[in-house]
């Protein structure tokens, strides 16, 4: 022990003296900053696409007790079921996953993105998506040393630039194409036929990321059999259970079995398995919440459209993207924060999101607070 302490203190001394230690960390990792989550204590939190209905407080008392009973049966001295078979069967049943498709579960869909990119990672591999798009695709590509190509969406409405997509697919022969459907951070659904064309043209896998399926009018889940290279990925996060960390990916069995080889054996913990099964057995509660949020989205959309100086983009998700046309977006963001409302400032992320802010749909009173604060900030 004393020896170790000495070593540490010598190291600390040399660091203090400005002697740089050689780090084994790759330069591109050193250049990153860790994923930043904004401080939100006591704020109206409308920045992260979370569901505002607190679980389990949103449940009737009797159901809360039932859930606790279920948790009491957990045996945390044992490893969880490595395949989470009961949970996978529940997901298949509740979401009508086609019988011919298999399911792989992830610790959030973020972990599934990791599995997918790890499976194809090679010096010449390319992962293709669109910009603006979901930030984790390029991040995870970088972690895996895979080249990431993002095709810009059309600036006026964030729809797919099909000419550019065709060209990029032809040129890069991507191993995986990721399309969030609806897209984050823009909220729109891409045209269905254009997505089909991309699936047809792509030489590798096409992952349709349906993180916002609960709020969207369309899905590719029922169409897995039509496209052998199609994978549909979803998550419980946006439908009310972000704290559980559970994502699922549905695809042809031969494809799922490859991903299963690189999945860490116990990636879905016992408490998540039990809680998710319980929650999905009461799916109607989650569905009612999603419907209520869609109604709130409609109201919010109308109120925002009525405010002068805003360009509001259509949304099939639980958030709305809008552009402040006359005021500096970061100033508006800061004013909202001053009023205790936290949303997301996207204005500095890419050229096409200049002036853009994104607000997550919350409870009626939270949305009211946001709208009032926004009116003040624009006023």
Ligand X SMILES: *Cc1c(COP(=O)(O)O)cnc(C)c1O
Q: Which is nearer to ligand X, 131 or 242 (CB)?
A: 242
138 binds ligand X (CB under 6 A): no
Residues whose CB is less than 8 angstroms from the CB of residue 68 and which lie 6 or more positions away in sequence, other chains included: none
Q: Which of 101, 186, 188, 235 binds ligand X (CB under 6 A)?
A: 235
Bridge partner list, 74: none
Please list every residue from 42 through 101 that binds ligand X, using CB under 6 A: 49
CB closer to ligand X, 290 vs 373:
290
Three-state secondary structure call for residue 220: coil
Candidate list 52, 53, 97, 108; residue touching ligand X; CB under 6 A: 108
Nearest CB to ligand X, comparing residues 237 and 272:
237
Q: In the complex, what is the shortest distance from the CB of residue 16 to ligand X, in angstroms, rounded to a whole number?
A: 39
61 exposure class (CB count in 10 Å sphere: 0-12, 13-18, 19+): exposed
Applying CB under 6 A, what is the total number of residues that bind ligand X?
Answer: 13
**315 forms part of the interface with ligand X (CB under 6 A):** no
Question: Which parts of 191-210 interact with ligand X (CB under 6 A)?
Answer: 209
CA-CA distance, 235 to 213, in Å (whole number)?
Answer: 9
SS3 83: coil
Residues 6+ apart with CB under 8 A from 136: 110, 113
Residues 6+ apart with CB under 8 A from 238: 49, 50, 51, 211, 212, 214, 215, 317, 318
Q: How far is the CB of 70 from ligand X (least distance, A)?
A: 22
372: its two tokens? 């009032």
Q: Which of 58, 70, 95, 110 is close enough to bind ligand X by CB under 6 A?
A: 110
221: DSSP letter:
G
Give the residue, chosen from 51, 90, 144, 237, that forms a contact with ligand X under the rule CB under 6 A. Answer: 237
Give residues 263-292 in contact with ligand X (rule: CB under 6 A): none
C-beta of 209 vs 366, nearer to ligand X: 209
Q: For ligand X, which residue of 247, 272, 290, 322 counts as binding (CB under 6 A)?
A: 247
Distance CA 122, CA 139 (A): 16
End-to-end Cα, the chain, rounded Å:
64
Binds ligand X by CB under 6 A, chosen from 101, 144, 184, 186 = 184
């Amino acid at each position: 022990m004393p020896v170790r302490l000495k070593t540490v203190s010598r190291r600390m001394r040399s660091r203090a003296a400005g002697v740089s230690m050689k780090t084994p960390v790759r330069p591109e990792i050193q250049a990153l900053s860790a994923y930043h989550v904004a401080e939100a204590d006591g704020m109206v939190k409308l920045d992260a696409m979370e569901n505002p209905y607190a679980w389990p407080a949103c449940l009737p008392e009797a159901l809360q007790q039932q859930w606790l009973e279920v948790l009491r049966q957990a045996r945390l001295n044992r490893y969880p079921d490595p395949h989470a078979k009961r949970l996978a069967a529940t997901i298949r049943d509740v979401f009508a996953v086609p019988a011919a498709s298999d399911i792989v579960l992830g610790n959030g869909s973020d972990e599934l993105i990791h599995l997918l990119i790890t499976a194809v990672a090679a010096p010449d591999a390319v992962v293709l998506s669109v910009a603006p798009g979901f930030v984790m695709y390029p991040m995870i590509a970088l972690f895996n040393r895979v080249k990431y190509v993002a095709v810009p969406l059309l600036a006026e409405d964030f729809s797919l630039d099909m000419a550019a997509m065709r060209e990029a697919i032809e040129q890069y022969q991507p191993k995986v194409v990721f399309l969030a459907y609806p897209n984050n951070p823009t909220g729109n659904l891409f045209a269905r036929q254009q997505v089909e064309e991309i699936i047809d043209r792509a030489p590798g896998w096409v992952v349709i990321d349906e993180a916002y399926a609960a709020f969207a009018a369309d899905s590719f889940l029922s169409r897995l059999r039509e496209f052998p290279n199609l994978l549909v990925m979803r998550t419980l996060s946006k439908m009310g259970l972000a704290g559980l960390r559970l994502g699922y990916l549905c695809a042809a069995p031969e494809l799922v079995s490859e991903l299963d080889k690189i999945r860490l054996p116990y990636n879905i913990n016992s408490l998540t398995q039990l809680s998710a099964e319980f929650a999905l057995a009461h799916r109607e509660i989650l569905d009612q919440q999603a419907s209520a949020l869609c109604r709130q989205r409609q109201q919010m959309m109308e109120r925002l459209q009525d405010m002068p100086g805003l360009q509001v983009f259509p949304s099939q998700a639980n958030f709305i993207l809008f552009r402040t046309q006359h005021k500096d977006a970061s100033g508006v963001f800061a004013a909202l924060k001053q009023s205790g409302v936290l949303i997301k400032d996207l204005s500095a992320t890419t050229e096409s999101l200049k002036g853009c802010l994104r607000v997550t749909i919350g409870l009626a009173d939270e949305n009211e607070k946001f709208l009032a604060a926004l009116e003040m900030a624009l006023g």
